[in-house]
């Protein structure tokens, strides 16, 4: 039986990126039935035409990535889809990406009694040409899962949202992403919840997707060249808040204390990077980090910044 697949894209302000992503999805070797688009821009980014395969929903108030995913999953369940293929606008799956993912799903799900929750391609950063790692939760924090190109696939707790092919059967059991996270860390939480319910999340090494991951900049730190990522104040707030909230809640026992220490260490590192390498809005971004980690410890979620 042929799987019924819909795609989902969150778009925000970048019209060309949104168009490129739409085209890459439409150009797949296996046709996508429909593309559900949540446009969080203040002004409509994409024109609604008579194309019945692209459903554009405009939310000028910006409902965030979390609520966008909830809306798309609710719609996919109602419409009887087997999978929802989720994207950020700055991602470009290769032409045969979906075909490879479905082939591996069909093969592996038979071997694993349909216990695959998410199956995802290998995401490659367009700027650095490096693989963007999925994540796994170890004791008191999420860490990047080292990519292994010598195997056909491997498990991790949380593939990145973009490119993730979500099993609707599994999603009905696990539930929806946390919309109150708004942006950042939604994939970490959702993937780990699938794992806790006994589902596998797989990265397929032969399926590829190009993705713009932040704003990486090469800098010198004590004569050593390192890559740092620059963010807006908004992103600094939600990264610090959501990662602090998730890691300190998923950590158990004494690891909650070490998790708190790690988050303080991350905060201090972020402030140093802002002071040394970010020429714009230093005070605002430092305040965003401080407020974010405070709200993370406090458990204050929702669209705050």
pLDDT digits (tens, 9 = 90+) for 112-125: 666 999 999 999 99
Is the confidence at residue 215, as pLDDT, over 80? no
pTM: 0.94
Retrieve residue 36's tokens. Answer: 């559900």
As to burial, measured by CB atoms within 10 angstroms (0-12 exposed, 13-18 middle, 19+ buried), residue 142 is: buried
Of the listed ranges 53-67, 197-211, 213-227, the least confidently predicted one is 213-227
CATH number of 5-211: 3.90.550.60
Distance of CA 261 to the CA centre of its chain: 25
Is the confidence at residue 50, as pLDDT, over 80? no
Listed residue (124, 119, 116, 121) closest to 97, CA to CA: 121
Q: Which residues pair with 220 in a beta bridge?
A: 225
The secondary structure element, H or E, covering residue 104 is helix 97-111
Domain boundaries, the chain: 5-211, 217-298
In which band, very low, low, confident or very high, does the pLDDT at 279 lie, cut at 50, 70 and 90?
confident
Widest pairwise Cα distance in the chain: 58
pLDDT of residue 1: 56
pLDDT of residue 112: 64
């Amino acid at each position: 039986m042929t799987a019924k697949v819909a795609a989902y894209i969150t778009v925000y302000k970048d019209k060309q990126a949104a168009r490129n992503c739409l085209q890459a999805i439409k150009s797949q070797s296996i046709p996508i039935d429909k593309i559900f688009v949540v446009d969080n821009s203040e002004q409509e980014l994409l024109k609604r035409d008579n194309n019945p395969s692209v459903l554009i929903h405009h939310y000028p108030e910006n409902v965030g990535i979390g609520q966008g995913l909830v809306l798309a999953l609710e719609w996919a369940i109602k419409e009887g889809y087997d999978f929802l293929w989720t994207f950020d606008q700055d991602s470009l799956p290769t032409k045969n990406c979906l075909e490879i993912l479905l082939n591996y799903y069909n093969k592996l799900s038979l071997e694993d009694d349909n216990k695959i929750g998410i199956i995802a391609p290998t995401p490659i950063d367009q700027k650095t040409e490096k693989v963007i790692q999925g994540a796994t939760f170890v004791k008191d924090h999420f860490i990047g899962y080292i990519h292994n190109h010598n195997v056909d696939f491997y498990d991790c707790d949380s593939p990145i949202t973009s490119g993730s092919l979500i099993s609707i059967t599994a999603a009905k059991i696990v539930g929806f992403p946390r919309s109150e996270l708004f942006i950042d860390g939604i994939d970490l939480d959702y993937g780990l919840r699938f794992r806790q319910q006994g589902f596998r999340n797989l990265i397929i090494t032969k399926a590829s997707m190009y993705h713009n991951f932040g704003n990486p900049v090469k800098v010198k730190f004590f004569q050593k060249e390192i890559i740092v990522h620059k963010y807006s104040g908004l992103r600094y707030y939600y990264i610090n808040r959501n990662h602090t909230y998730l890691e300190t809640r998923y950590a158990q026992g004494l690891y909650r204390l070490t998790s708190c220490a790690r988050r303080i260490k991350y905060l201090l590192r972020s402030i140093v990077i802002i002071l040394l390498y970010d020429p714009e809005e230093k005070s605002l971004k430092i305040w965003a980090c401080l407020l974010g980690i405070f709200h993370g410890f406090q458990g204050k979620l929702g669209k705050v910044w």
